[in-house]
Chains A and B, each alone.
Chain A
Amino acid sequence: MLQPIVPELIILGTALIVLLLDLFITEKNFLGYLSLFGVIVALFFSLSPVTPFGSFFSSMLIVDRFTIFFDLLFLLAASITILLSLHYLTIEENVHGEYYTLLLLATLGMMLMVKAADLVIVFLGIETLSLSIYILAGYLRTEAKSNESAMKYFLLGAFSTAFLLYGIALIYGATGSTNLSAIATYIKETNLLTNPLLLVSMGLILIGFGFKVSMVPFHMWTPDVYEGAPTSITAFMAVGVKAAAFSSFLRVFLSSFPELRPTWVELLWVLSVLTMTVGNVIAISQDNIKRMLAYSSIAHAGYLMVGMIAGGELGISGMLYYLLAYTLMNLGAFGVVIAYGTKTEENVLIKDYAGLGFRYPLLGFCMSIFMFSLAGIPPLSGFVAKFYIFSSAIKEGYIWLTIIGVMNSLISVYYYLRITVLMYMREPEKEVVLSLSNPALIAALVVTTFFTIQMGVFPNAYMELARASVMMGR
């Protein structure tokens, strides 16, 4: 009976065990490895063939290939974040068990979001996720920036969730249900397409998701929150939260509002162009690498929206592949940022990267791979992802959107390339001595680098996976 949510229960169980053991254990890193173990067990159960498909708990939850893909993505993001955290927290000398608990609870929230067949569960998932992240953003208690980041995220997040809730309430008012497919059926049967209540609620829900996804103009929180939060949480936010938000966004809009497609596609077109352009253009002037990566993630949200606008099997599977590739390369990039930090110096200014390429060649190589992949240069996964999404746009006839997309790609090349310029073409200004011996860190960097290359050169299997996962509800 509980079978559909076994992975979630495992994550919850691990979270609680970690919280409990935190009271007794002094070697806190053990808790990190324990949570990693829990994640892997959940991953195993999530992919196992006994996972049933269908809707459960009186149509509150749905399990299909879409959810399995995203579970895989979230658990992957969580595991790599845990690996990075094991190194990062040791460096920051700030290891507490609650960190891992909160991380696991956030993952739980994400998995719930994608399994939601009902708007209430969507809300539940978002809140579980968000509350955990609000706290984690402020984890470095003694740093003002971390406090500021948590406060900003909390205030703006709560505000936007309120929008979401209001939208859900209005939908209920308009259609009499919060169940995603029931809403769609109601809209179709009563031909409700121009009901103002429905349109307003759709707009409000869009705002709620837009905030989480860092869509322009709801993106203002992203640079500050990403800069202030502990870098491992920034990494998690940039990939996990974004992927979860997109998964839910997709499910809600494709399941409930397919009839309203012409309306929201037009809106998304404008928002996508704004998002891409603002993200890329402002990234150029950044001098802090965490902020630069924050704006870059805004831009990538814009590219992802292109896939949503194009729609169809190609568009959505393109988004899935993109999210997978993006997760890996972004985690890798943040991983290098984490690796480059020491106990005394954070080294998060872009100019600190001068000379990295020759002082630590392997680290420099990894960073170059991530930068080139983010810029969309073949034969890396970032290129294949953009190729996939832009081909879906062309197929549906969105030529101008594609041209804007590729021009934005070009703009982004400048700031990604700048990192490699500094790493290889400038002399280092200060001595940076790193300790790169933590096996967790090395494992994280190796996995992300390897798959960024492999997914790009041999993308077949991943594309098939994405294609198969697009079937919602089947």
Chain B
Amino acid sequence: MNILSTITFLPIIGVILLIFLNKDNPRLLKGVTFIITIIDFLLSLPLFLNFRSTSDMQFVERIPWIEQYGITYHVGIDGISLFLVLLTTLLSMISVLACWQDIQKKVKEFMICLLFLETGMIGVFVSLDLFLFYCFWEVMLIPMYLLIGIWGSPNRRIYAAVKFFLYTMFGSLLMLVAILYLYFFNGSQTGTYTFDLLELYKLTIPYNIQVWLFLAFALAFAIKVPMFPFHTWLPDAHTEAPTVGSVLLAAVLLKMGTYGFLRFNLPLFPSASIDFIPLISILALIGIIYGALVAMVQKDVKRLVAFSSVSHLGFVMLGLFTFTVQGISGGILQMLNHGFSTGALFLIVGMLYERRHTRLIDEFGGLSKVMPIYATFFMIVTLSSIGLPGLNGFVGEFLILLGTFKVNVTYAVFAATGVILSAVYMLWMFQRVMFGEVTKEENRKLKDLSLREIIVLIPIILFIIQIGVYPKPYLSRMEPTVKNLIAHVYNKADVRR
């Protein structure tokens, strides 16, 4: 069976297994889930190793599904989605291990939600049929909504979950209208009615229609990224979600927005994309700076990291909309990097929360004396988030700034200030939490990282260092796809107005 389909649907097999297991044996449930996610991750490794340097879709599978509508089950990956699939499987596996202690009640349902979420996430990245993509996009909302609403922090989890669901759905419904319009437009132009993305790429759409379709898709993705001003669901969702929910939300779900721009907006609506560069870039810049400034004044560590996501993904969007190889490659790499750094940050914050049941910065102080190993890991991840050369964040940011500088020096200058600001809020937070004197007595008794927690963080730390030192394997796999995308956009955009 096709490897992508296996990777996508293996978690569902896991769900079926879990259904039959007794819910009074949490260890067994967690163990089975963990094994399933490990197998899924191992299955996804050959994707990386056997990836060929072409810009075509690879590992493709195409089965007719609802034929009279031209809906097919069409999956495949290229240089963009490859890394996102790997990120998903790796982080899902780590998440199961991370929530081992955290989740004690309703374990069975939690694990089922987690596995469903994994299927939804991978499905979004591998779909090459608009209908299939839309199905996975929506399906993925339900488990995340349940994760936040049932296992989130008691005060505002329901509010955050419902807000997340409705806000995201608002964008996606407008995207549905655009998808339907595209389908009928294609039918009227070419005679064949299909939802297949690769067929739709060949379409030339009149400019004014492109603009509306671009906006409809862009709204859905802008809400997901999240871009300013559609970011207001994020701080609540992240803060109220359980640790693992935040990790997957930040590391994977947010990438779907940026991925959507690359996979749909740019290739389908090239002329509109080029004309929208100023708007998107400025919104991205606002996101970078605003996100950083607001992050600075947060009292809750998790909320600070949430706003830092807004800021970092502003960088990604800026890079994507430079339409240069460096910018887009930097953007994709930064998607991966952000997944690692912010995922790790949420895990680290979660570990602190498990010990002290508070996330307020004022409650901490001087923890590096009490938990040295934790401090080390925390420091590495912080530096990665800031973009210290030698770690992964720097490579991504550097490439993005390079691409931006080529296109518009002013944008690059503003973006660079964002780098400085991120150093400010992260280091200041780190200093208040970890350095100085141990001001609160409770903190003296905190235990350092357990073996399980170390195992959770090690893979991420290794990747953080490896990507920072030797990013070539990643960049080389991205390059053909990125180059092809840019060429496609510029070729098609010649036909305008």
Contacts and interface: CB of A to CB of B under 8 A. Distances in A.
Interface of A: 358, 372, 377-379, 383, 387, 390-391, 394-395, 399, 402-403, 406-407, 409-410, 413-414, 417, 420-421, 424-426, 459-460, 463-464, 467
B135 A378 contact: yes
Contacts of A425: 149-150, 157-158, 161
A246 B66 CA distance: 26
A391 B162 contact: no
Contacts of A383: 135, 138
Given A414-B166, A421-B149, A379 B135 contact: yes
A377 B67 contact: no
A387 B184 CA distance: 13
Contacts of A464: 68
Contacts, number: 78
Given A378-B135, A410-B166, A413-B169, A358 B142 contact: no
A contact patch SS: helix
B146 A406 contact: no
Q: Which 8 A-B pairs have the closest CB atoms?
A: A378-B135, A406-B173, A394-B180, A425-B149, A378-B138, A391-B180, A395-B184, A379-B135
A416 to B, nearest CB: 11
Interface of B: 65-69, 106, 109, 131, 134-135, 138-139, 141-142, 145-146, 149-150, 157-158, 161-162, 165-166, 169-170, 173-174, 176-177, 180-181, 183-184
Nearest to B141: A377
B176 A406 contact: yes
Contacts of A460: 65-68
B174 A406 contact: yes
Contact of B149 (A372, A390, A403, A424): A424
Nearest to B216: A403
A259 B420 CA distance: 70
B139 A377 contact: yes
Given A394-B184, A402-B180, A459 B66 contact: yes
A399 B135 contact: no
Contacts of B66: 459-460, 463
14 contacts: A372-B142, A383-B135, A391-B180, A391-B183, A394-B184, A406-B173, A410-B173, A413-B169, A414-B162, A417-B145, A425-B149, A425-B150, A425-B157, A425-B161
Contacts of B146: 420, 424
A383 to B, nearest CB: 7
A89 B473 CA distance: 69
Nearest to B108: A361
Given A377-B141, A383-B135, 6 more contacts: A377-B142, A394-B184, A409-B173, A410-B169, A421-B149, A460-B68
A381 to B, nearest CB: 13
Contacts of B184: 391, 394-395
B485 to A, nearest CB: 28
A399 B216 CA distance: 13
A14 B67 CA distance: 42
Nearest to A390: B180
Contacts of B170: 410
Given A390-B180, A399-B181, A358 B174 contact: no
A459 B183 CA distance: 19
A403 B165 contact: no
A402 B216 CA distance: 13
Nearest to B145: A417
Nearest to B171: A410
Nearest to B148: A425
A425 B156 CA distance: 11
Nearest to B176: A406
B181 A394 contact: yes
Nearest to A459: B66
Contacts of B135: 378-379, 383
Contacts of B67: 460
Contacts of B149: 421, 424-425
A390 B162 contact: no
Contact of B177 (A377, A390, A395, A459): A390
A295 to B, nearest CB: 18
